[in-house]
Amino acid sequence: MIGRLNHVAIAVKDLAAATAVYKNALGAEVTEPTPQPDHGVTVVFVTLPNTKIEFLEPLGENSPIAKFLEKNPDGGIHHLCYEVDDILAARDKLKAEGARVLGDGNPKIGAHGKPVLFLHPKDFCGTLTELEQA
């Protein structure tokens, strides 16, 4: 069921500063910032040969990333995202195994324009896990 690692998401207080480090110091290819109001974040992707890094900056006070940064003021890894061939089949299988799907359990459109779901960190070794339709 699980596919390739799509991205590692890192919560940051200053998107421009984080992007500059990867772009200037590491020579990475980075996208332009893209607001994602439905998710309460602005995102930038760093393209790597085998996956991506996603920087997440809070978009407003009620952003889940703002809450994450309150607990982790220096930022840090927020979640891992894996691709799945069929997000609804993956959701149903995981729920049958006892995993908790966050929110209302229905996929939302993510930053790549594809359906995504988030799984409770307590069910995945303390790691918030995102599934994205491949």
Could you report the per-residue pLDDT of 74-116, keeping only the tens digit for each? 999 999 999 999 999 999 999 999 999 999 999 999 999 999 9
Mean pLDDT of the chain: 96
CA–CA distance from 30 to each of 15, 49, 51, 123 (Å)?
11, 13, 13, 32
Examine the residue annotation and report whether 130 is marked as an active-site residue of this protein.
Answer: yes
pLDDT, one tens digit per residue, over 37-55 is 989 999 999 999 999 999 9
**pLDDT for the residue numbered 61:** 86
With vertex at residue 11, the alpha carbon angle to CA 5 and CA 13, rounded to the nearest 5 degrees, is: 155
**Average pLDDT estimate for 48-68:** 94
Spatial contact of 108 and 39, defined as CB atoms under 8 Å apart = yes
Q: Looking at the domain 2-133, which fold is it?
A: 2,3-Dihydroxybiphenyl 1,2-Dioxygenase; domain 1 (3.10.180)
| Catalytic residue from among 54, 57, 83, 130 | 130
With vertex at residue 46, the alpha carbon angle to CA 81 and CA 9, rounded to the nearest 5 degrees, is: 30
For the chain, percent of residues with pLDDT exceeding 70: 100
Tokens at 21, concatenated: 């480090």
- Report field, pTM of the whole predicted structure over 0.85: yes
Q: What band does 1 get if pLDDT is binned at 50, 70 and 90?
A: confident
